[in-house]
Structure 1
Amino acid sequence: MLSGDLFGDLPTVLAEEEIFLLADRPGARIEKIVSTGQASPPGFWYDQPFAEWVFLLQGSAGLLIEGEGAARELRPGAWLEIPAHVRHRVEWTDPARPTLWLAIHLKS
């Protein structure tokens, strides 16, 4: 049995976003992601071969989906499912406090 604290020991400043693997099973991979002002590099888009369900627990972020005119502003409690091969990028994350994400990669 595994357990932990999603909010425990959150860093306030990171050189790069941190990704912690919480579980990896045949149908899903679950990650805790901590951002402290990071964003996707200019011109970079995620294009993943699997769906991703994202839940913002703390902080805030701007997530741009290719083809949409503006980034979606995510606040605590916001979630979305990004289908496979839908290009997206992180435009910004809160530089004043850690942004905590829970990401579930849904393998087919």
Structure 2
Amino acid sequence: MGSLLTDIPSTLPSEIFQDLVKTDNVRIERIISKGHSTSDSDWYDQTEHEWVLVVKGQAKILFEDGMKELHLKEGDYVNISARQRHKVSWTHPTEETIWLAVFYS
């Protein structure tokens, strides 16, 4: 048993990526951000699909293909297709953003 909302450090110099479940077919990850974003020159370009939910906080995801920037709040989710280049353009600077990401093929 575990909780997505506990064991959060008081300071977050970098994002935390924590695998909760990992098999050959699926990986479930908790991500904790606080004012973090992907650098301007970097893009995520994953070989797996990613379904992501904002459990707590807020974030913005930008897609390279010209799709509108998405502003996600608590309870919002999005499915990101494999090879769809994207980045986190903003996370809330004063409160933690807790994500639940499910990677699948």
Query: TM-score, with normalisation over the residues of structure 1?
Result: 0.91
| Aligned-residue offset at 1:66 | 1.3
In the alignment, what sits opposite 2:74?
76
- SS of 2:89 mapped into structure 1: strand
Name stretches of at least 5 consecutive residues in structure 2 with no aligned partner.
Answer: none
**Inter-partner Cα distance in structure 1 for 2:83 and 2:67:** 18
Q: Partner residue of 1:35? A: 33
Structure 1 residue 97 corresponds to structure 2 residue 95: yes
1:50: Cα distance to partner? 0.8
Give the whole-Å Cα distance in 1 for the aligned partners of 2:83 and 2:59. 21
1:59 aligns with 2:57: yes
1:29 and 1:51 map into 2 onto residues whose CA distance is: 10
The alpha-carbon deviation at position 12 of structure 1 amounts to 4.1
Structure 1 letter corresponding to 2:49:
A
Give the secondary structure class of the aligned counterpart of 1:26. coil
Structure 1 residue runs of 4 or more that deviate by more than 6 Å after TM superposition: none
Percent identity over the alignment is 36
Aligned residues: 105
Structure 1 residue 10 displacement after superposition: 2.0
Counterpart-to-counterpart distance in 2, 1:49 and 1:74? 23
Measured on the aligned residues, the alpha-carbon RMSD in Å equals 1.2
Q: Which structure 1 segments of 5+ residues have no match?
A: none
Q: 1:69 Cα shift?
A: 5.4
